[in-house]
Structure 1
Amino acid sequence: MDEHDVQLPNQYDHGQIVIGRLFHGSKDRFEAKFSEIPKLRTISENPSLSSSSSSLNNTPSHGAGRGINTEDRTLPTAAYNFKVESGKENKMTTTEYSWVPVPDKSLVERYMKALPEEERPIVGSVGEQNRKSRLQFQLPLYDCNVDDARFANDQDKEVFRRFLENVRKHVIGVGQVQEIAAKKTAGVDTNDLEELAKEIAGINVGPVKCKSCTDAIPVGDVGIKTDHGPKNDMWHPNCFRCAQCDQLLVDMLYFHYQGKYYCGRHFADLQYPRCAGCDELIFAREYTFAEEKSWHFDHFACLKCDFRLGGHRYMMKNDHPHCIDCYMKHFARNCDTCSQKIGPDEKRLNYQDFHWHAKPECFHCRHCKMDLIGKKFIFKDHHLFCSSQCKADFANKL
């Protein structure tokens, strides 16, 4: 999938750009603030309870879960091009990851071990390519920044800005890697149970049941938790996936909506239609719906000549619309009897790779001219015959 010629700043990874757009707002704010974010950016361990997300008009949704104020949520702690050394002094090996969830060697090793090999973003590997593909698919840049939307007018852009503001305030989050700790017990000399409760508040003690597969996450392994949804929900790293496409949520970036976790693409698709022509969201009040797909008015056009097809007849070829003239020119078959094009409204008969108008003057016996529509025939040397006798008689005339 192309990126609509959206240019990535050389110093940033695609995932960093998305974080900048959706966690920090404008490009300038992002580039100013990103360098200031400390390595451990968890601002609040215990956000206050409220509604989990808002609808597009910024009214609270009715889904269960925890609401997150922008100031109280966990910010991404990712590191990029992160190197992990392992082994003994004489046999040290270095593994470089294009992305890791936290700049912590121990947590990184346990997190990556919990993923299939093809999902580990090791530089130069299939896993790195898979991550890049998922970033482009799940988090298209034109979904994250008004300035990257090429096909929105000023009114549409204002709707887009409100959509992004709602996402920033109520919807987007990043999964947090957490070690499953052993259960703590109070000693006989522990009198202040209230203080003990505060100490272990927000810490999952194990083993913990995975929210997705329901299997246990053992003590010592790592799980994924979020700011949204029930506080004690945890996932295996390989189970933290989009509720719609079931892809691993790239860089653990999620969009929480009505109690479910989505990738950016499929959350947005639940809010607005997406144009089948340009892949951008449609914020206009009116648009074209054809072939079970949505289109900007200007984008439901002939693939060959760009003629706008709204209100006109068209033909689909290879999932793309074509005007009748271009269809006839590029795709219509020639009748093997009269050599004329067979139009999309004309009935056609096929045999092997041969085509005829479905009318007696074209589909008939080569020798006696008998109409063969709906009848048995013999096909020999590109000719139609009604019988062996006609075939022989025609051959004798040659």
Structure 2
Amino acid sequence: MTECFDCDNCKESLYGRKYIQMDNGPYCIPCYDAHFANTCDECKELIGHDCRELYYEDRHYHEHCFRCFRCDRSLADEPFTCQGKELLCNDCYCSEFSSKCIACEKTVMPGSRKLEYNGQTWHEHCFICSSCQQPIGSRSFIPDKKDYYCVPCYESKFAPRCTRCKKTLTKGGVTYRDEPWHKECFVCTGCKTPLAGQQFTSQDDNPYCIKCFGNLYAKKCSACTKPITGFGGGKYVSFEDRHWHHNCFNCARCSTSLVGKGFIPDNDEILCRDCSSDL
């Protein structure tokens, strides 16, 4: 007696017919397609057992329906991107959604290395220094109008140079006689003490600290012999070829201040009127 071999759904005999074996039993082709085939998300028709089926994000497609939404190119064996519910080939996606390199005007492909600045985009290898023409990459750069410079080239081309050492000033510095100096280069001509932030004066365009200037060039007080610099609000009195600090301009006998008063010179001394009348 012949064993029963029927479709598990329609119960028709499968002898001499194609069938598909499932876990719960064999199915004839029409029953298999009706019960187990997926519906194509594009054409909404069943994807038969003899069709190549493609699956993407819970959606099923016939191979011939899996195409770019813009150019209709088959995506079965091509890289693609999903924008919303639309499938796009790389070319169409880049043309519509990717930025273009400001230098070469070619599309900056998704995933490629790029640099963005001030609303503009470059391929990494296209963002080059306007002077040395080398790629700037991840290094610091300085914009100048429509040009971009690596730091060494910008400093060499535009940065001011120290009057003393002739090297570029990249930060800070001081200005003396409209010329730039490094702070560490702006020193007293005499003792080499840094003058940045300190009181100083000059002689023949050379800067000096107050102490050196006083010792080298300032008038000397005839009383105390110390320099008369005039700094710090210091005032002095001159008579003939002699000079005194205000607080040193006193009568040689009674030590009364003679500032604003009459006095009598007596050889190297100065006397008040009272002391001179006793002579």
TM category, shorter: 0.3 to 0.5
Considering only CA atoms, is the larger Rg found in Structure 1 or Structure 2? 2
Higher relative contact order (Cα pairs below 8 Å, separated by 6+ residues): 1
Q: Which has the higher strand share?
A: 2
TM-score by length of 2: 0.38
* Structure with the bigger percentage of helix: 1
